[in-house]
Chain A
């Protein structure tokens, strides 16, 4: 059937539908009503603006003189990190710091770890790998300062910290830092995402996330303190990490610390999505108390299996329309590597993003995979996002 037959067939159905004078009259009547309302709205808007200005003036006065705002707001300020007394489940020492694993939770996809790093001397400042003392501003890592745009390095100098160290937290299963030399880099199979918060007493909490490897797995987390040196022009320069100078935290994630996750939407590609080497089977949106995941499952084709030794694991990209407003963006916190899952007679690999879904979902997002061969056909997730929207509407 040619596509012009679609037009003919649809034309046949709607040919009796015509724009009439009544339609024109209805639109014009609506416009006149709107114009009338606009004229009425102007004085109302002026009155509202005056009232708003009065309220703002009173509020500003209250904040500066009466302290009413503080009285009303009470303890509503949310802490970035819980200040509840941490439960120490593991502790390790190195010459510069003590590392305490305060919490480790998982949900079958992601593992989330909170490590409290306590410097052993008061002039030591510990920073995580994502902080550059020459660039990062204090406002971004929880330091309370008059000038939130001051660099961490400048703030450290002003506050008597003479020794700065980068804390590297590394597991054989997670790749942490590109500058890190380790005895077994071949074991890297995933990535770590970390954020930090400096506490008032000089210690810092580093939150890291990685792949959950199951309830029986014993994780090893190697901890380094890599020194920064001060250069002649007052910049901080990181030294090379020494592969043997580390301490190790060992832990498992007990069942009571494991959160349930559930699939809230699934999308199966309408057309076969393959580049000849791998084939995208489905994409799920999975939710737990800890995070939301976009999980793409794929299998290797016969050709892919034959070339498995020289076939690099694919990289998946989540793309959203360029014109999307920031409020509607899916913010991806971490992109994890693949894991094999055996089903009946085949191994299904999965690749997932840990992400934050916006309140209002974009109309379309897509997952593209790039293997060593070429790009795999886009997997359009528009139907999946529509399903989530439906779930939101009815829940």
Chain B
């Protein structure tokens, strides 16, 4: 994994942040979209994540990977947005001229899995997205979510059990 901050002499500066955004920007933006299921909110959340990261750069002590650290900030930012008035007020999942339409217009695109993941309760969805979409190791996923590994395993087990039920016909094997 690329460790951007190790190559930048002074942490609390724009140069380090620009490097972080270049390397992890797309990953974080996609993560936010997976959590929020809204491309516009995801853009705001990703930008907010890097702004918070800039504020916290001086305190980052490499106790976890840079990506895990950014994921942790992104998850908390998305959680805050989901609990806000705006998130509850807007009508989400309404097709508009955005990238979701472009994806959905593809003839072979099947939204079954995406919808099944989005239907999961928030905590289970976060665990699934970080572990299986971002492919963070178990320990790093637990750090990003601020929980212990046993709790994470319980959530993953529950999430897989729900997905197995909701994706009947799809789900024929499990690799863990």
Which A residues have a C-beta under 8 Å from some C-beta of B?
1-7, 9-19, 23-24, 26-28, 30-31, 34, 270-271, 321, 323, 363-364, 366, 378, 380, 382-383, 386
B67-99 CB mask vs A (1 if < 8 Å, else 0) is 000000000000000000000000000000001
Inter-chain contacts of A3 with B (CB < 8 A): 131-132, 160, 174-176
- Cβ of B51 under 8 Å from chain A: yes
When distances are taken between beta carbons in the complex, the residues of chain A under 8 Å from B155 are 380
CA distance A384 to B121 in the complex (A): 12
Which 3 pairs between the two chains have the least Cβ-Cβ distance? A19-B25, A9-B113, A16-B99
State the Cβ distance, A115 to closest chain B Cβ, in Å: 43
Q: List 13 A–B pairs whose Cβ atoms lie within 8 Å, in order of A's numbering.
A: A3-B176, A5-B113, A5-B170, A15-B103, A19-B21, A19-B22, A23-B21, A24-B18, A30-B47, A31-B54, A270-B158, A321-B147, A380-B155
> How far does the alpha carbon of A84 sit from the alpha carbon of B103 in the complex, in Å?
71
Interchain Cβ contacts within 8 Å, total number: 123
- Is B63 located at the chain interface by the 8 A CB criterion? no
A14, A15, A16, A31: residue with the most chain B Cβ atoms closer than 10 Å: A14
| Nearest neighbor of A20 in chain B, beta-carbon distance | B25
Contact A6 B113, beta carbon cutoff 8 Å: yes
Q: Is A13's CB under 8 angstroms from B18's CB?
A: no
Chain B residues with CB under 8 Å of A31's CB are 14, 17, 51, 54
Give 7 A-B pairs besides A12-B109, A321-B147 with Cβ atoms closer than 8 angstroms.
A6-B113, A9-B114, A10-B129, A19-B22, A19-B29, A363-B146, A386-B122
Residues 13-56 of B contacting A (Cβ, < 8 Å): 14, 17-18, 21-22, 25-26, 28-30, 33-34, 39, 42-43, 46-47, 50-51, 54-55
B162 contacts chain A at the CB level, 8 A cutoff: yes
The CA-CA distance from A3 to B130 in the complex, in Å, is 12
Contact assessment for B161 and A17 in the assembled complex, using a CB-CB cutoff below 8 Å? no
A14 touches B30 (CB 8 A): yes
Could you tell me the distance in whole angstroms from the C-beta of B116 to the nearest C-beta in chain A? 9
Query: Residue-by-residue, is B144-176 near A (CB-CB < 8 Å gives 1, otherwise 0)?
Result: 001110110011011011110001001111111
A10 touches B117 (CB 8 A): yes
CA distance A30 to B50 in the complex (A): 10
Question: Is B135 among interface residues, defined by CB-CB distance under 8 A?
Answer: yes
Cα distance, A364 to B142, chains bound together (Å): 14
Q: Tell me which residues across on chain B come within 8 A of A9, comparing CB atoms.
A: 110, 112-114
Knowing A17-B42, A321-B148 are in contact, say whether A7-B34 is a contact too (CB < 8 A): no
Query: Quick one: closest A residue to B106, CB to CB?
Result: A12
**Contact indicator B167/A17 (Cβ below 8 Å):** no
Instruction: Output the least CB separation between A6 and chain B (Å).
Output: 5
B174 touches which of A2, A7, A15 (Cβ 8 Å): A2
Q: Which of A1, A2, A13, A378 contacts B154 (CB 8 A)?
A: A378
Q: Which residues of B contact A24 (CB under 8 A)?
A: 18, 21-22, 25
Of residues 99 through 148 on chain B, the ones whose CB sits less than 8 Å from some CB of chain A are 99-100, 102-103, 109-114, 117, 121-123, 128-129, 131-133, 135, 146-148
Residues of chain B contacted by A19 (CB below 8 angstroms) = 21-22, 25-26, 28-29, 46
Given known contacts A7-B132, A270-B158, A271-B161, is B175 in contact with A2 (CB within 8 Å)?
yes
A323 to B146 Cα, complex, angstroms:
9
The answer, among A1, A28, A364, for a CB contact under 8 Å with B147, is A364
Q: Are B157 and A271 in contact (CB under 8 A)?
A: yes
The answer to whether residues A6 and B174 also contact, given A13-B103, A18-B26, A27-B50 and a CB cut-off of 8 A, is: no
CA distance A10 to B148 in the complex (A): 26
Among A23, A323, A378, A382, the residue within 8 A (CB) of B25 is A23
Report yes or no: B47 in contact with A270, Cβ–Cβ below 8 A.
no
**Residues in A whose Cβ lies below 8 Å from that of B28:** 19
Interface centre among A13, A26, A270 (most CB of B within 10 A): A13
Instruction: Give the CA-CA distance A364 to B124 in the complex, in Å.
Output: 13
